[in-house]
Amino acid sequence: MLAPRFLPLVLKQVVRHRLRSTLTVCGVAVAMFLFTAVQSMQAGVEAATVTNATDTTLVVYRKDRFCPFASRMPQSYAEQIKRIPGVASVVPIKIVVNNCRTSLDVVTFRGVPEEPFLEGYAPKLRLLSGSLDDWKRRSDAALLGETLAKRRGLKVGDRFEAAGITVYVAGVIQSDEPQDENVGYTHLDFLQFATGSRSGGIVTQFNVKVTEPGQLEPVATAIDERFAHDQDPTWTTPEKAFVARAAADVIEIVGFMKWLGWGCLLAVLALVGNAIVLSVQDRIREHAVLQTLGYRGNLIARLIVTEGLVMSLVGGLAGCALAAWILSRSALALSVDALSIPVQSSPALFVWGLAIAALLGVLAGLVPAWQAGRREIVTCFRAV
């Protein structure tokens, strides 16, 4: 560790070559910005697709259909699904989306029956503004996820149109479930008839709650067998597995981008290391003077390592903070087939990025510090 009284000397060396230090810090900031953005996407993929031991939700979809436009099943299936052993509840859902392709600005409406919504969904949602009473009172009301409301600049009392449907914003909600952050919850019967088509009694999917996690596979098999020979056969899978399959292409792209993140870290290491090497070469004779004044070799080495740490921390702080600010303001989410993968930074990711930047700064300074610390005084004075 370096004593605090030596920090002014380190800072003086950093600002001594302003252009070099500024370019290094800016390079670190850009690299850490990209690294944080990529990690935010990776975290969103994990939150939306990684299952855990407490998951008890199945999604029943029309077999061989992926886009909500194509998945059409009779709402009457709900009563038959309820009678299957292991089923705790069934919620029919009508989904209308303005774009089935992969996009950063997809508006998804989910029509849900009022009673199941209030009993099963509302307790898990945090109402940031508006009221449930307004949602219950108006047939055209919608509760918007925070991400969707922020991205579209919507607030309670606004009316907005998407996918040919105009709704009244009755509230803005927040949820721990990624899929709730980018949707608008409406009344099922309103959404079934909102486009003017005779689609009453037709839904897109059923969300099925089972009594315990161990029942997911048996119940899914039983549902598909029950409707295997009907006009509209089903495909049933755990909710997060359903998201993972529908967004497989997006997940593959995000997985490839993690290599971009590693490349950013290597860029940080190279930038800081190059700056320190050049700085040490310029100060060989100065180090000899410091040794003459009583500075030991290990102290000079620590000064050099701290110099790299300072530049990495400043650049890392700027890059991580900028990424966190942009992601929080833009409320981005990768959407495909009405399913969302949030791109959101978090305090933990910010701290993690800053720690990595600091570590790379230390590593970048180790070799030049070791060389400078072992250099003899006479050799230093002879250097040109």
Q: Model confidence over 54-89: pLDDT tens digits?
A: 678 898 999 887 778 888 899 999 999 999 999 999
**270/355 same-domain check:** yes
Cα separation, 175 vs 181, whole angstroms:
6
Contact 163, 98 (CB under 8 A): yes
pLDDT average, residue stretch 295-324? 84
**Could you say which of 232, 263, 284 is where a domain stops?**
232
CA separation for the pair 151, 336 (Å, rounded):
17
Virtual CA dihedral for 93, 129, 337, 136, nearest 10 degrees? 20
Is 204 strand, coil or helix? Answer: coil
| Alpha-carbon span 122 to 338, nearest angstrom | 20
Q: Are residues 94 and 33 in the same domain?
A: no
Determine the Cα–Cα distance for residues 358 and 336; give it in Å rounded to an integer: 37
Reference 223, options 76, 81, 91; nearest CA is 81
Residue with more model confidence, 217 or 255: 217
Do 280 and 347 belong together in one domain?
yes
Three-class SS of residue 215? helix
| 157 shares its domain with 274 | no
- Is the per-residue pLDDT at 337 higher than 70? no
- For residue range 190-206, what is the model confidence (pLDDT) as tens digits? 988 876 555 568 899 99
One domain, residues 180 and 268? no
Residue 34, pLDDT > 80, answer yes
Q: What distance in Å separates the CA atoms of residue 50 and residue 66, rounded to the nearest whole number? A: 20
384 pLDDT band (50/70/90 cuts)?
very low
pLDDT at 159: 92
Calculate the average pLDDT of the chain: 81
Provide mean pLDDT across the span 160-179: 87
Instruction: Give the strand pairing for 183-187 and 108-112.
Output: parallel
Q: Please, which residues have CB within 8 angstroms of residue 2's CB and are 6 or more apart in sequence?
A: 10, 302, 303, 306
Q: Provide the H-helix boundaries in the chain.
A: 7-16, 18-49, 77-82, 114-116, 132-137, 146-152, 188-193, 216-226, 239-246, 248-282, 284-292, 297-330, 347-374, 377-382
Q: Is the Cα dihedral 353, 354, 355, 361 positive or negative?
A: positive
Largest Cα span, the chain: 93
pLDDT band at 258 (very low <50, low <70, confident <90, very high): confident
The helix/strand/coil state of 156 is coil
Judge contact between 269 and 364, C-beta under 8 A: yes
The pLDDT score that the predictor gives to residue 285 is 64
Best-predicted range by mean pLDDT among 19-23, 50-54, 295-299?
19-23
Give a yes or no: residue 262 inside a domain.
yes
Question: What is the pLDDT averaged over residues 40-47?
Answer: 76
Q: Quick check: is 244 in a domain?
A: no
- pLDDT, mean of residues 15-38: 85
Question: From CA 253, how far away is CA 259, in angstroms rounded?
Answer: 11
Domain that holds residue 125: 64-232
pLDDT mean over 224-230: 91
Q: Do the strands 333-336 and 73-74 form a parallel or antiparallel pair, or are they unpaired?
A: unpaired
Mean pLDDT over residues 92-101, rounded? 82
Q: Which residue has the higher pLDDT, 274 or 90?
A: 90
Does 30 lie in the same domain as 125?
no
pLDDT bin (cut points 50, 70, 90) of residue 128 is very high
The three-class DSSP label of residue 51 is coil
Measured in whole angstroms, how far is the alpha carbon of residue 22 from the centre of its chain?
Answer: 30
| Same domain flag for 80 and 223 | yes
Chain centroid to CA 48:
9
- Of 171, 203, 232, the domain-final residue: 232
Asked if 121 and 179 count as a contact pair (C-beta separation under 8 A), the reply is no
Question: Is residue 241 included in any domain, yes or no?
Answer: no
Question: Are residues 220 and 364 both part of a single domain?
Answer: no
Residues 81 and 137 in one domain: yes
Q: Is the pLDDT of residue 297 over 90?
A: no
104 lies in the same domain as 180: yes
Binning pLDDT at 50, 70 and 90, where does residue 50 land?
A: low
**Distance (Å, whole) CA 20 – CA 112:** 59
Which amino acid, 230? D
In this structure, are 33 and 131 located in the same domain? no
How many CB atoms are located within 10 Å of the residue 54 CB? 7
- pTM (predicted TM-score): 0.70
Percent of the chain with pLDDT over 70: 81
